[in-house]
Amino acid sequence: MPRPAPSGRGIFLTHAWPWLLGILALTVLVYLPGLHGPFLFDDPPNIVQPISAWLGGQTGWQEIVFGNNSGPLHRPLSMLTFLANAAASGVMPWPFKATNLAIHLACGGLIYALLSRLLSRDPQLKTRARFAALIVSAIWLLHPMQVSTVLYVVQRMEQLSALFTLTALLIYVHARKCFDQGRTRATLIDLFLLLPLATLAAIFSKENGALVPLFCLILELGYFPDSKETARPNAVKLFFCLTLLIPGLFALGWCALHPQWPVAGYSGRLFTLGERLLSEPRVLMDYMGALLLPRGPALGLYTDDFAVSHNLFNPVTTLPAILGLIALIAAACWSRRRIPAFFTGIGFYLAGHVMESTVFPLELYFEHRNYLPSAGFFLAIVGLAHWAGLRLLPHMTNPARSRRLLGTGVVTLLLVLGVATLARASVWDSWSVMAAQGAHQHPDSIRAQMDHATNLMAEGRVDEAQQVLDHVATIQDPAAQHIAVIDTVLLQCMVHHEASPVSVARISAIKGAKLQLPEMLAFEMLGGALNTHDCQGLGTAQLATMITDIVDAAPQPGALIQLWRSRYIASNLYLNAGQYIKAEQQASLAWETGHADPAIGLLLANLEYVNGNVAGAKIVLADANRHIAWWDRRNQELSVKLKQLFESPPPANVIGEPRPQ
């Protein structure tokens, strides 16, 4: 007698992992072209330069692991993986990018494992839990928006934080299931030992790992509801009290005692806290639009052209975006019992943006902020689609045919996403192609235009580079206009070895404006060029004086990095011009802010000694030593050399140039 055919659910349960492995293999294939691309953007200062110094014996491994300044906690776990890459294969981009891809695959597998467990508790999706989990993880793995995280090496910080966050969430779900089974001891170990360890690993990869308790709360509300039959365990209540309630009250108390703290960081931005809060609903709605309908070439890192919302009607999309976001939150809350996948997905997505899309004075828009949160968005879409399908299917004349069409549609969607990601990864194979495309798609992006101009200069296409700079000068952003002026002089000095008086005078005209990081970096490049090349019409001392005047007139606190580091640039320019007194004055002003790198203190001590103030030099050296971190071998060694030098009578030559970390 023939056996009955297994149910569709049984077939899928048997073959779920092979399907997932196939999706992972497809992900590898579509990313392969981009693995051969170069280091980009923030990769050199964060990875290439410090690791090259370590490989050359100029610094210790401790400086690599603990000395990164991308975040307040220095992200040591992420930096340790970069160090491991370099130890195995040197500073070659391919192994670094391949490691990023491997982490991406691991995150995709964890998303599948997490969702398959959660959706088994979903009253609507539990019979198709693994199928739905596979669809969500496949869309997440193959979506083209992830390219700018996976192939941008430094964004491994975001990836590793996601990896350990997902691990922590799996531990949480396991703990909750242990409670259902009466295994209290295992639950306590999970909640109060293993989960905190995974959370710390996420935090030390990137600070937004601190959102783990908030993610756990979303999962708790969505799939472990409190009821008369299943009361919420006291250990779970204690967990949220310790990880959310108490830290939240502490943060509120801190803000009450330091009311200026939330707005202090905005002195370095061209938008206010209020403008950021008005802008972020538009940012979130734009993110979700790009997740639903990827915009192809418009995706990428050149998003610094996103317009600031100045009020509810400027731009006109501000109020609709706010109302749309409120409506989405209301719909998610309404669906908590009816469509838990939609509630959990939207809650997870918005929770993932709590740190980077709210009050902190970060740039408005970055795609990589959607890396982990997008898994929640895709869960919400799949849950909503399934809910709608259950209501439409009984009204269809041929349900079986509709199911086949649905399956074909899912496969087609994944193939389309794969092709789009393949196209994006191919662009990432070449910085010049990516910059040219970015400049075309984002005409108001300063980064895109300047990268394009840099590549044109490297190719010897000087006239075209100048045309790009002329275009940058027309962008309605003060920073863009300032950079165009500075880089025009740089182009003249590098190509013609002569700066026109009109162009030089335009640099002086920056005086009185807010100084941003891009201007500081432009001054750094121009100063470096003048220190190594002669340029008729502009000398090092002249540029130093212009920078000093611009910093003095900037309506910003001197503690901002763009101000004290600009003084450091001016100090070195004066130093190379032999004007030691002026060099000391600028180094002193930078050091007095209390925020400058210890290397500035060492430079100041050196200059005071050269200028004959031995006692003052020793005082500054002692002060600098108190700020040198235990891992900072370069500055420690330089400090020892200075101490030895100070035992000999002045004057003496400057022994070296300390470099800020």
* pLDDT reading at 296 higher than 90: no
- Higher-pLDDT residue of 353 and 9 is 353
Residue 360 CA: distances (Å) to CA of 274, 460, 552: 11, 41, 27
Q: What is the 3-state secondary structure (H, E, C) of 485-512?
A: HHHHHHHHHHHHCECCHHHHHHHHCCCC
Identify whether residues 599 and 457 lie together within a single domain: yes
| Per-residue pLDDT tens digits for 612-643 | 899 999 999 999 999 999 999 889 999 999 99
Peptide bond into 196 cis (omega under 30): no
Residue 24 CA: distances (Å) to CA of 107, 280, 372, 504, 603: 11, 33, 17, 55, 52
- Rounded distance, CA 307 to CA 235, Å? 46
**How many structural domains is the chain composed of?**
3
Q: How much is the pTM?
A: 0.92
Identify whether residues 471 and 363 lie together within a single domain: no
| Per-residue pLDDT tens digits for 202-214 | 999 999 999 999 9
Angle at the Cα of 356 from the Cα atoms of 355 and 359, rounded to 5 degrees? 70
- For residue 232, the one-letter residue type is R
3 state DSSP class of 604:
helix
- Higher-pLDDT residue of 230 and 616 is 616
Q: Within 335-445, where are the H helices?
A: 340-351, 373-392, 399-427, 431-441
Identify whether residues 519 and 604 lie together within a single domain: yes
User: Within 13 A of 613's CA, how many CA atoms are on the CB side?
Assistant: 14
State residue 409's pLDDT score. Answer: 85
- Rounded distance, CA 53 to CA 60, Å? 9
Domain range holding 239? 156-259
* Long-range contacts at 551-555 (CB < 8 A, ≥ 24 apart): 551/515, 553/511, 553/512, 554/512, 554/513, 554/514, 554/515, 555/512, 555/514
Cα 96 → chain centroid: 17
Q: 36-40, 157-161, 352-356: lowest mean pLDDT where?
A: 36-40
| Per-residue pLDDT tens digits for 423-470 | 999 999 888 888 999 999 999 999 999 999 999 988 889 999 999 999
| Per-residue pLDDT tens digits for 67-107 | 998 889 999 999 999 999 999 999 999 999 999 999 999 99
Identify whether residues 471 and 551 lie together within a single domain: yes
Cα 365 → chain centroid: 10
Does 320 reside within a domain?
yes
* pLDDT reading at 60 higher than 80: yes
Does 296 reside within a domain?
yes
| Tokens representing residue 185 in the block | 């001891």
What are 314's strand-pairing partners? 311
State residue 4's pLDDT score. Answer: 41
Does 250 reside within a domain?
yes
| Tokens representing residue 522 in the block | 């432009």
Does 422 reside within a domain?
no
- Rounded distance, CA 482 to CA 488, Å? 10
Q: Which residue has the tokens 């891992």?
A: 631
Would you call 401 exposed, middle or buried from its count of C-beta atoms within 10 A (0-12, 13-18, 19+)? exposed
Identify whether residues 560 and 588 lie together within a single domain: yes
| Residues 356 and 369: beta-carbon distance below 8 Å | yes
| Per-residue pLDDT tens digits for 515-538 | 999 999 999 999 999 988 889 999
Identify whether residues 183 and 273 lie together within a single domain: no
User: What phi and psi values does residue 311 have, to the nearest 5 degrees?
Assistant: -160, -175
Angle at the Cα of 364 from the Cα atoms of 261 and 102, rounded to 5 degrees? 110
Q: Which residue has the tokens 């370099």?
A: 86
Average pLDDT for residues 581-587, to the nearest whole number?
96
Residues 6+ apart with CB under 8 A from 249: none
- Rounded distance, CA 552 to CA 611, Å? 23
| Residues 377 and 345: beta-carbon distance below 8 Å | yes
Q: What is the 3-state secondary structure (H, E, C) of 231-289?
A: CCCHHHHHHHHHHHHHHHHHHHHHHHHCCCHHHHHHHHCCCCHHHHHHHHHHHHHHHHH
- Rounded distance, CA 461 to CA 446, Å? 19
Mean pLDDT (the chain) is 91
- Rounded distance, CA 330 to CA 129, Å? 26
| Tokens representing residue 203 in the block | 């935090």
Q: 390-399, 456-465, 493-502, 591-600: lowest mean pLDDT where?
A: 390-399
- Rounded distance, CA 552 to CA 515, Å? 11
Helix, strand, coil distribution of the chain in percent, nearest 5: 70, 0, 25
- Rounded distance, CA 627 to CA 641, Å? 17
Residues 6+ apart with CB under 8 A from 191: 172, 175, 235, 236, 239
- For residue 311, the one-letter residue type is N
Cα distance from N-terminal residue to C-terminal residue, the chain: 77
Please state the length of the chain: 661
Residues 6+ apart with CB under 8 A from 151: 31, 34, 35, 37, 97, 100, 425, 428
Does 51 reside within a domain?
no
Cα 119 → chain centroid: 30
Residue 660, sorted as left (phi over 0), alpha (psi -120 to 50) or beta, turns out to be beta
- Rounded distance, CA 309 to CA 303, Å? 15
Identify whether residues 168 and 238 lie together within a single domain: yes
- Rounded distance, CA 341 to CA 223, Å? 9
Average pLDDT for residues 573-582, to the nearest whole number?
94
Identify whether residues 229 and 274 lie together within a single domain: no
Does 129 reside within a domain?
no
Q: For the chain, what percent of residues have pLDDT higher than 90?
A: 76
Could you say which of 232, 259, 286 is where a domain stops?
259
Does 7 reside within a domain?
no
Identify whether residues 212 and 251 lie together within a single domain: yes
Identify whether residues 231 and 278 lie together within a single domain: no
Could you say which of 259, 277, 301 is where a domain stops?
259
Could you say which of 259, 280, 309 is where a domain stops?
259
- Rounded distance, CA 339 to CA 384, Å? 7
| Residues 533 and 497: beta-carbon distance below 8 Å | yes
- Buried b / exposed e along 196-211 (16+ C-beta atoms within 10 A): bebbbbbbbbbbbbbb
What are 536's strand-pairing partners? 498
Identify whether residues 168 and 293 lie together within a single domain: no
* pLDDT reading at 52 higher than 50: yes
State residue 13's pLDDT score. Answer: 42
State residue 109's pLDDT score. Answer: 96
Does 254 reside within a domain?
yes
CATH of the domain at 525: 1.25.40.10
| Residues 82 and 93: beta-carbon distance below 8 Å | no
* pLDDT reading at 183 higher than 90: no
* pLDDT reading at 256 higher than 90: no
| Residues 71 and 206: beta-carbon distance below 8 Å | yes
Identify whether residues 513 and 583 lie together within a single domain: yes
- Rounded distance, CA 116 to CA 136, Å? 10
pLDDT band at 410 (very low <50, low <70, confident <90, very high): confident
Q: What is the 3-state secondary structure (H, E, C) of 100-134?
A: HHHHHHHHHHHHHHHHHHHHCCCCCCHHHHHHHHH
3 state DSSP class of 513:
coil
Please give the DSSP secondary-structure letter assigned to residue 428. Answer: T
State residue 6's pLDDT score. Answer: 39
| Residues 151 and 31: beta-carbon distance below 8 Å | yes
